[in-house]
Each structure stands twice: as C-alpha cells, then as structure tokens.
Structure 1
Amino acid sequence: MTDKGYDLSSERSGGRAKLARDTGLSASIIARLMSGQQVSYETLLALARSTGIPVMELLIRTGKATEADFSLSDEEFGQIGVQSGKRLTPEEVAAAAGVPEEDQAWFATMVRRIRRRGTGDSDSAAGGAAAEG
C-alpha cells in the first residue's frame, strides 16, 4: 500500500483513512486488514479494483492462497505447450482444440485454405454460405 502512496506507518498518519475513502471500505475493515485479521474475498476484490494491486497478490499476502495455487501445469490449466517454438500444424491444432477425430481432416483442410486465401478476401459472404452448405 505504501507503494501506492498510502502512509501506513502509524494509525495517525492518515493513510488508513485515505485508503478507506479511496476504496469505499469502512475504517474498521481497513484496520482489520492492516492488523492481519481475516477479511472477505469481496473486500480484497474491492481493494484490488480501487488500488490496482492484482487480486492474486492480495490473496497470497493475506494467506487466502499460495503461489502454488496460481502456478498450474499446462494439463491442469487445459493448455497445450509448444516447447520447440515451432508452429503447430492444423492437425495438431485440431487435436488440441478437441475437434472430433472424424472432423480433423476437414478442419485441417479449411485452415490451409484460409491461410492460402489470406485475410484480404472480399468474397467472405460467399465463403460463409459455402461453409454452411
């Protein structure tokens, strides 16, 4: 909070009152927060929104979460990692996106056609109608 300009060095510094005004939280909630007592998630969310401090940082600093809670593996997060830095093939994208196996060849063909045509195609309405039919 001191990095955000709130002087919290003592109860009489005015920083707590200013923080309460700026966040819309009561002085008693700010006092509980500053003394290390538990506060609600909603309080932390209001504090994050009004100060610009990431809610993740507030959750960790108040003991409601740990850094490990925010460092999910690719599998836990549902993402595919490409360690080599190479572009994925349309088939790899289809598999990663969960396209049904019987539709993956069609998906790969459509991706290749879109790449060939580029984004400057003025006949997009006809392409949309053809894709629907």
Structure 2
Amino acid sequence: MKNSKRRATPVPPHASTGPAAFGRWLAHRLEGLGYDLSSPRSGGRSAFAEAAGLSPSTVTRLLRGEMPTDPRLLRTLAEAIKEPYAAVLVRAGVISPDELAAVQNPTTTNPITPDQAADELGITDPVERKVFINMVRTLARPSAATTGEEKLAD
C-alpha cells in the first residue's frame, strides 16, 4: 500500500555500494515514493512489484541484498523508481562513479593526426590517402560561419 506520509532519507548519489547497501538505498527510495515497507505484510513490496512489472520475490531479494545485479533488471527498476539508469548502475556497483564520468565526459588527451587516421583506416593508396588527409584538414578548419567565408554548399 502506498503511504504518502513516509519520506526517504536522502542518500548521496554516488555512495559506495554493494548488494546490501543497494537494498537499503532501494528501500529508502521506495519509501520516498510512498510504498510502505514497514513490515512484510504492509503491502508496499507487492504494490511496487506490480507497478514495476517485477515479481514480489525479485523485489524482496533486491531489498535484502540477496540478488545479483542484472543490468536488464536494473533498467526496469530505474524506470519504475524514476531514477536515471546510469545512477542505478552506480548504486548497484555495476560501474564505478569514475567509469560513469569517463563515459559521460570522454576526453581525448592525444588526438590522432590525419596521417594516423588514414593508417588506422587502412588507406594505403597514395591518391586516396592524399584525398582523405586533405578532406580531414578541410573539415577541421573553423567553419565558414565563424570565419565569414561563404559556404561551398550554398
């Protein structure tokens, strides 16, 4: 049963996790959404399971920290609790906060040259290689809008 008077205690978004910690965080989140988890017979687990499209036993195992964290299950869970999927993956310990940050904000510290790109792509024909390198250099120049030049496509 939902109980709108219960509110979750905020938990830092990237708290260290393991199955037990994930279960505690999930319980706080469900209580914050109004699910009464005060006892096994309060109905909150079953109500959430039905709303989320999960089995009650799956929800119980997640809350107890007894279940491995399957990414497909976590996606369903994230949608049901209205949390970003990436944040749930971090909470569940599937990825670390650093791994998430690296994916969300990739940085290239050593950009490759047009010659290196041609090598990586296997462009060995001298004429094709020259065309490729010139095209890359042309595309890498500041756009016509910022230089005031007319656009060739017009």
Which bracket does the TM-score occupy, shorter chain normalised?
A: 0.5 to 0.7
Asked whether 1:101 is paired with 2:137, we answer yes
Work out the CA distance in 1 between the residues paired with 2:91 and 2:146: 45
Q: Tell me the TM-score normalized by structure 1.
A: 0.58
Task: Tell me the equivalent position of 1:33.
Answer: 62
Deviations 1:67-110 (A, max 9, x none): 12212288x71479xxxxxxxxxxxxxxxxxx7124444x5335
1:46 Cα shift?
A: 0.7
Structure 2 counterparts to residues 33-112 of structure 1, below 5 A: 33-36=62-65, 37-72=67-102, 77-78=106-107, 100-105=136-141, 107-112=142-147
Structure 2 spans left out of the alignment, 5+ residues:
1-29, 110-134
Please state how far the C-alpha of 1:44 moved relative to its aligned partner. 0.9
Q: Is the 8 A contact 2:35 2:45 kept in 1?
A: yes
Task: Please say if residues 36 and 43 of structure 2, whose CA atoms lie closer than 8 Å, have aligned partners that are also in contact.
Answer: yes
Question: Gapped runs of 5+ residues in structure 1?
Answer: 81-98, 118-126
> Which secondary structure state, in structure 2, belongs to the residue aligned with residue 131 of structure 1?
coil
TM-score normalised by structure 2 residue count: 0.51
Aligned residue in 1 for 2:153: 131
1:7 aligns with 2:43: no
Instruction: Name the amino acid aligned to 1:14.
Output: G
How far 1:47 sits from its partner (Å)? 1.2
Give the aligned length. 99
Counterpart position of 2:132: none
Amino acid in the other structure paired with 1:109: A
**In the aligned structure 2, how far is the partner of 1:73 from the partner of 1:31?**
32
Q: Which has the higher helix share?
A: 1
Root-mean-square deviation over aligned CA pairs: 3.1
Distance in 1 of aligned mates of 2:64 and 2:82: 21
- Output the amino acid matched with 1:19: F
Are residue 18 (structure 1) and residue 47 (structure 2) matched? yes
Match of residue 114 from structure 2: none
Separation in structure 2 between the aligned mates of residue 108 and residue 54 of structure 1, nearest angstrom: 35
Distance in 2, matches of 1:60 and 1:48, equals 11
Q: Work out whether residues 38 and 62 of structure 1, in 8 Å CA contact, stay in contact via their aligned partners in 2.
A: no
The separation in 2 between residues aligned to 1:44 and 1:11, in whole angstroms, is: 22
